[in-house]
Structure 1
Amino acid sequence: MPALDDLDLETLDFGSVEPVEFARIVRGTPNRQITELMSGEQRRRVLDEVFGRMHTLFKPDAAAGKDALIRWRITAGDGGEDDVYETHIGGGTCTVTPERTDREPQLSLTMAAPEFLRLVSGNASGPTLFFTRKLKVKGDIRLAGGLTYYFDIPKP
């Protein structure tokens, strides 16, 4: 495993990085560097990889009986276009749509890319991001509060 300082985030194959290693990389990378990465060409690839793995980290037993659509808006911050993904939890599965649909979500979450990466890697908590106004929540606040229980989020 290379030292964090030796990693070139622009060329790193995020598809080959295990969740615990991803959490370690995010934890050890300065916010400025994450912001630069997520403002560049790798942004969509990193987001696609994170959302593409959600179903593998999903805990169906924890979400038993839930049927919810969550819309994630990852803001560009540089005047570019925001990225929107939707996750549907229901029937013991988690499916991801890599775009906004016409469906009405029970919950919408909006945050910048660095905060999103810290949240999904276990390096930040949703309530802390919310109370520091780095995460905007619209809709079912109880669903937002329980969302982390439905996924096996790495412990960095």
Structure 2
Amino acid sequence: MTEFSPESLSSIGPKEFAQLVKSTPDSKIAEVMASDSRTKILDEVFNRMPSLFRAEKAGDAQAVIHWIITGPNGASNTYETVIENGQCTVTTTPVREPKLAMTMDAVTFLKVVAGDGNPMMLFMTGKIKAKGDLALAASIAKLFDIPKA
């Protein structure tokens, strides 16, 4: 199996990524996400979002979503996903007022985007904190082609 690292992520597709997250122990993911590789891995995941966006499911949805991925020592990375005009764009420099802001640790985030965690259950247990449009939060998964491991 491929090692969980930025190099391996850039060379595998979404399905392989989902299998990698599922087969890697949470402790190993947490270790890698606490290292200098953290931003590279998050950038790789967020850079794929526009290509996994399902415009046909979004319809005329207009939304700005802030993803706050917490890290060690109170640090965090914030990404902005904008869905409008049938397009999805992502930036590492949030500038717009979010309709929804979600906060979670890196392991939880990777499990969600890899289809290895139930977002509603993670929200109910406090692993994901959402502020804003909770109906949007509940429907995010259908807007993206999330691989099944």
What CA distance in whole angstroms lies between the structure 2 residues aligned with 1:149 and 1:87? 15
Of Structure 1 and Structure 2, the greater helix share is in: 2
Asked if the contact 2:46–2:90 (Cα under 8 Å) also holds between the matched residues in 1, the reply is: yes
What CA distance in whole angstroms lies between the structure 1 residues aligned with 2:57 and 2:93? 26
CA RMSD of aligned residues (A): 1.1
CA shift for structure 1 position 17: 1.1
Aligned to 1:119: 112
Asked if the contact 2:5–2:41 (Cα under 8 Å) also holds between the matched residues in 1, the reply is: no
CA shift for structure 1 position 9: 2.6
**Structure 2 spans left out of the alignment, 5+ residues:** none
Q: What does the per-residue CA deviation read over 1:83-118, in whole Å, with 9 as the maximum and x for residues that have no partner?
A: 0000000101000011232x2100000000000000
Asked if the contact 2:6–2:40 (Cα under 8 Å) also holds between the matched residues in 1, the reply is: no
Q: Does 1:99 align with 2:90?
A: no
Aligned to 1:129: 122
SS at structure 1 position matched to 2:80:
strand
Aligned to 2:84: 90
What CA distance in whole angstroms lies between the structure 2 residues aligned with 1:74 and 1:55? 19
One-letter identity of the residue aligned with 1:68: A
What CA distance in whole angstroms lies between the structure 1 residues aligned with 2:42 and 2:131? 21
SS at structure 2 position matched to 1:84:
strand
One-letter identity of the residue aligned with 1:63: A
CA shift for structure 1 position 15: 1.1
**Structure 1 spans left out of the alignment, 5+ residues:** none
Q: What does the per-residue CA deviation read over 1:29-51, in whole Å, with 9 as the maximum and x for residues that have no partner?
A: 11100000100011101100000
Please show how residues 1-156 of structure 1 align to structure 2 within 5 Å.
3=1, 7-10=2-5, 12-76=7-71, 78-101=72-95, 103-156=96-149
SS at structure 2 position matched to 1:61:
helix
One-letter identity of the residue aligned with 2:14: P
Asked if the contact 1:62–1:149 (Cα under 8 Å) also holds between the matched residues in 2, the reply is: yes
One-letter identity of the residue aligned with 1:24: Q
What fraction of aligned residue pairs are identical, expressed as a percent?
A: 42
SS at structure 2 position matched to 1:79:
helix
TM-score normalised by the chain length of structure 2: 0.96
